[in-house]
Amino acid sequence: MSDAKKKKKILLVEDEDNLRELVQSRLENEGFEVVPVVDGFQALARARQSQPDLIILDLMIPKMDGYSICRLLKSGGMGQTPIIMFSARSSPDDIQRGLDMGASAYVTKPFDAPVLLGKIRELLFPEERAKEQAAPPPEPTPAPEPVAAAANQQDELKPAGQPAPQGADADKKSRPLG
């Protein structure tokens, strides 16, 4: 794990204890520093205080919804901080509204950890993503020999310049003369 990844700080705004602890544990195991909070007021205060590199923001939290928090953070000096909306609300209108409020990405619950981690890496380490896209594609594997090649190999076993015997003549020609 690189030092740059260990130094990245993520503000995790989630009011469901079990889910917050699960996500926090997974992120810490990946080498991130996690600042967990449970409501909208704490989210605003801790975002300004801790200056995170990325924010994971639930929409439906106490004291202030995630849309409002996102808008306030983006207009209040944290415009460059990526925000991942993290919500059970999965309608296209909800997703579009989150992106319109300034979210960089939207991950729906229930979620797959690799999807969330992929979005985090994409937003925090765009240079790694660029390297992956710039890498040349792997060399193609050679195609197997066609079946016709096997038939040609049988023809190669015959003596050169002699046609293969046919029909009744084949029996006569293959018997020793005597």
Q: Which CATH number covers residue 60?
A: 3.40.50.2300
pLDDT at 16: 96
Q: Is residue 142 part of a domain?
A: no
Q: Is residue 169 part of a domain?
A: no
pLDDT of residue 163 exceeding 60, the answer is no
Q: Is residue 177 part of a domain?
A: no
Euclidean distance between CA atoms 64 and 101, whole angstroms:
14
Can you tell me the mean pLDDT for 112-131?
88
- How far the first Cα of the chain sits from its last, in Å, is 85
pLDDT of residue 137 exceeding 90, the answer is no
Q: Is residue 108 part of a domain?
A: yes
pLDDT at 7: 81
Within 13 Å of residue 55, how many CA atoms lie on the same side as its CB? 34
Q: Is residue 91 part of a domain?
A: yes
Q: Which amino acid is residue 153, in one-letter code?
A: Q
More confident residue, 78 or 144: 78
Can you tell me the mean pLDDT for 94-104?
94
Q: Is residue 80 part of a domain?
A: yes
Q: Is residue 124 part of a domain?
A: yes
Euclidean distance between CA atoms 119 and 122, whole angstroms:
5
Q: Strand order in 33-37's β-sheet?
A: 33-37, 9-13, 54-58, 83-87, 105-108
pLDDT at 5: 44
Q: Is residue 60 part of a domain?
A: yes
- How many domains are contained in the chain? 1
User: Which residues sit opposite 83 in a β-bridge?
Assistant: 55
Of 58, 28, 53, 21, give the one whose Cα is nearest residue 43: 58
Structure tokens of 90?
A: 């999965």
Domain containing 50 equals 3-131
- 46-87 per-position pLDDT tens digit: 999 999 999 999 999 999 999 999 999 999 889 999 999 999
